Structure 1
Amino acid sequence: MSELRLSVLDLVGLRPGEEASEGIARSVTLAQHVENLGYQRFLLAEHHSIAGIASSATAVLIGHIAGATKSIRVGSAGIMLPNHAPLVVAEQFGTLEALYPGRIDLGLGRAPGGDFHTMRALRRDLKQSGDDFPALLEELRTYLGDPRPDQIVHAFPGEGSRVPVLLLGSSAFGAQLAGMLGLPYAFAAHFAPEYLYAAARLYREMFRPGVLQEPHMMVGVQVIAAPTDAEAKRLFTTPQQRFLRLIRNQPVELLPPVDSMDGLWADYEQAAVESKLGAAIVGGPETVRAGIEKLARDTGAKEIIAVTDTYDFNDRLRSYELLAEAMLPIATV
């Protein structure tokens, strides 16, 4: 038996009219707060051309937050590898590892992190796609590993750093690849829960010892904890409104909670939002603990990556406090 780990995924969300600097300052405060609460990692996601999210320069933010904290691991969840040359990623994360040894994690995904037009702007020749992700991953891991006798291109810093790599996904692809390579696997149930249980099963079935000797399943999930179920459900209308605006192709700033979503969405929009947030764990401490216990039991998760988007920052801080109190100690097999 081992203790279930708890981590944070931050999108650096903004409220209407805010400057990016305000959201980044909150992220620093949040990282310091959860570090004091004993959280394992503070992870940042790469998104582009999305008004209301300020995490596009992910490696820069990782360095900024690692410099403002002392012990918590800081990393990406993730860097969208097809957007970048593997050498550049190796140099960036090799530099971060040199600055903050033993505290940097490199989570990798294969989605663009934006729409088609943004993808075109990021991938200038359009030759890189999700299909070439395994080859890009192998190239990146080569740069971060020990030099090979026939190797011509080297990452300085980066070479020999062995920055820990974890794979992200929301489909069978990432689960199979992570299992085959013996890497940690994080499923993005905070926005795509439909395939969660199948992916978790596939990851375990496909797992072969590699970097890890046994599977390490991580689940990203929306979590809002409050003193009561009713209060948490009200706070949850903020991420509901965010996803509603996302499917309407509108800016996704954090909006104040409302007493009811009735009248704010059409039936088909409600169904779409609820499908995106279907794995969310929302409630008072007892409800949250029960939800996390069930999630860990059903998926074999060793680590929960909590995504908590509330309008009021104090509600967010309090949610992470209640989450830590509610779930500890929860053991995993």
Structure 2
Amino acid sequence: MTRVPLNVLDLSPISEGSTVQQALRNTLDLARQTEEWGYARYWVAEHHFVAAASSSPAVLVGLIAAATNRIRVGSAAVQIGHHTAASVVESFGTVDALYPGRIDLGIGRSGQRRAEALAGKDRPEPEHEEKVVEGTLFPKPFQSGKLILSERLRASGDVLQQPHAEAPDFEDQLSDIVDFLRGDFSTPSGVQLTATPGTGADVELWLFGSSGGQSAQVAGARGLPFVANYHVSPGTTLEAVEAYRAAFVPSATLDEPYVVVSADVVAAESDSEAEYLASSFGQWVHSIRSGHGAIPYPDPKTAEPLTDEQQVLVADRVATQFVGSAATVAEKLDGLQKATGADELVVTTITHDHADRLRSYELLGKEWGLPRLRV
């Protein structure tokens, strides 16, 4: 059976009782190992003021590229509302100059979404009942409006921008990034500027989205590849993919739509072992959904059970985490791929112990049929 490429999404999680230094060492170790196990790409997220060490994706991408040899390395995704187009292109252009042809520049719009929510202009969130397609659950969408407007996220957003700064329109910033990369950038007054490094960088540009909103529509209209975040918002994944494909216009980059879909997974030697390793996932998700930010990943040996009310808050994420033996997880990923028509899949695995995370990726890669590199 020929399967689509399988990729890695790493949040550089900090486990309960561990340190940020160890989390970063774990990321480099996981990158080296998954390259050997045949994974196609290694992407890192951007998260701030939480128990994850992936706050600076450009720096982390450079470190991972230096520690590996062949695997593509990228961001999933740079939150463009917290950066200028010039800083993004210069940062990734610097890494590309040393590791050409291996760098993916993934971009998300969460900074702008927060600004729109604060101004009361946020796009209405979709509402529909859960559905099952190809054996894959697409639950009722989680309504994240209150979370976006939480005091903690407001404070975080304020700190990540200069005082009184406003996030530009997502598509405008994307245009600036494309122009810088092509060497065509000029200011509104007509001054031409060249990003050095950056202009001519051989990076792949990706857009990430959790709904059928602007990210999906812009990705389609510009003929760029699109990543739908099933692991973040499983209830809106089908809407995101459909909106992207409906908006797609062929470009110099792509002749037809190209979709990657993400998933949370934990694989182990048996279903029961995997279920134990994943048993503290709900507590971790609750820390995020309740507006407190991701806590150090709990140890299943000591994690306190969730209350009924807490379980309701995280039910969609827990139900859509793919947990089990490698065969069980691969079967669930096959269903997700068929349901979405994904051209690639990207999986993120969090366990308390690094060895268990390594083993999950190793077992899944072997079951998926990835070609191991000869070393």
Structure-1-length-normalised TM-score: 0.92
Whether the 8 Å CA contact 1:192–1:277 is kept in 2: the answer is no
The aligned residue for residue 158 of structure 2 is 120
Whether the 8 Å CA contact 2:283–2:306 is kept in 1: the answer is no
The aligned residue for residue 169 of structure 1 is 209
In the TM superposition, 1:1-333 aligns within 5 A as 3-50=3-50, 52-112=51-111, 115-129=153-167, 132-147=169-184, 152-173=192-213, 174-210=215-251, 211-248=253-290, 249=292, 252-258=295-301, 264-328=305-369
Whether the 8 Å CA contact 2:93–2:201 is kept in 1: the answer is yes
Whether the 8 Å CA contact 1:238–1:309 is kept in 2: the answer is no
Distance in 2 separating the partners of 1:264 and 1:87? 46
Task: Provide, for residues 164-209 of structure 1, a one-character-per-residue CA deviation record: whole Å limited to 9, x for no partner.
Answer: 1100110112221111111111111112111011211222222111
Whether the 8 Å CA contact 1:107–1:166 is kept in 2: the answer is yes
Task: Provide, for residues 231-282 of structure 1, a one-character-per-residue CA deviation record: whole Å limited to 9, x for no partner.
Answer: 11111123222112223416511111259x8x72222211221223443211
Q: For the structure 1 residues 140 and 125, does the alpha-carbon distance in structure 2 shift closer, same or farther, using more than 3 Å as the test?
A: farther
AA in 2 matched with 1:96: V
Q: For the structure 1 residues 222 and 251, does the alpha-carbon distance in structure 2 shift closer, same or farther, using more than 3 Å as the test?
A: closer
Distance in 2 separating the partners of 1:82 and 1:116? 13
**Gaps in structure 2 of 5+ consecutive residues:** 115-151, 371-375
Distance in 2 separating the partners of 1:10 and 1:118? 21
Distance in 2 separating the partners of 1:2 and 1:209? 26
Q: 1:115, CA displacement in angstroms?
A: 1.2
Whether the 8 Å CA contact 2:260–2:343 is kept in 1: the answer is yes
Q: SS of the residue aligned with 2:280?
A: helix
Distance in 2 separating the partners of 1:250 and 1:94? 31
Distance in 1 separating the partners of 2:110 and 2:293? 20
Q: 1:18, CA displacement in angstroms?
A: 2.7
Distance in 2 separating the partners of 1:186 and 1:109? 10
Whether the 8 Å CA contact 2:49–2:293 is kept in 1: the answer is no
Q: For the structure 1 residues 148 and 62, does the alpha-carbon distance in structure 2 shift closer, same or farther, using more than 3 Å as the test?
A: closer
Whether the 8 Å CA contact 2:212–2:242 is kept in 1: the answer is no
Q: 1:229, CA displacement in angstroms?
A: 1.2
Task: Provide, for residues 78-98 of structure 1, a one-character-per-residue CA deviation record: whole Å limited to 9, x for no partner.
Answer: 100110010011100111100
Whether the 8 Å CA contact 1:190–1:277 is kept in 2: the answer is no
Q: SS of the residue aligned with 1:283?
A: strand
Q: 1:285, CA displacement in angstroms?
A: 2.3
Percent identity over paired residues: 36
Structure-2-length-normalised TM-score: 0.82
Whether the 8 Å CA contact 1:46–1:77 is kept in 2: the answer is yes
Q: For the structure 1 residues 54 and 295, does the alpha-carbon distance in structure 2 shift closer, same or farther, using more than 3 Å as the test?
A: same
AA in 1 matched with 2:159: A
Q: For the structure 1 residues 309 and 115, does the alpha-carbon distance in structure 2 shift closer, same or farther, using more than 3 Å as the test?
A: same
AA in 2 matched with 1:227: E
Cα RMSD over matched residues? 2.2
**Gaps in structure 1 of 5+ consecutive residues:** none
Q: SS of the residue aligned with 2:77?
A: strand
AA in 2 matched with 1:170: S
Distance in 1 separating the partners of 2:154 and 2:106? 22
Q: For the structure 1 residues 291 and 152, does the alpha-carbon distance in structure 2 shift closer, same or farther, using more than 3 Å as the test?
A: same
Distance in 2 separating the partners of 1:153 and 1:119? 29
Whether the 8 Å CA contact 1:147–1:160 is kept in 2: the answer is no
Whether the 8 Å CA contact 1:193–1:278 is kept in 2: the answer is no
Q: 1:7, CA displacement in angstroms?
A: 0.7
Distance in 2 separating the partners of 1:317 and 1:197? 30
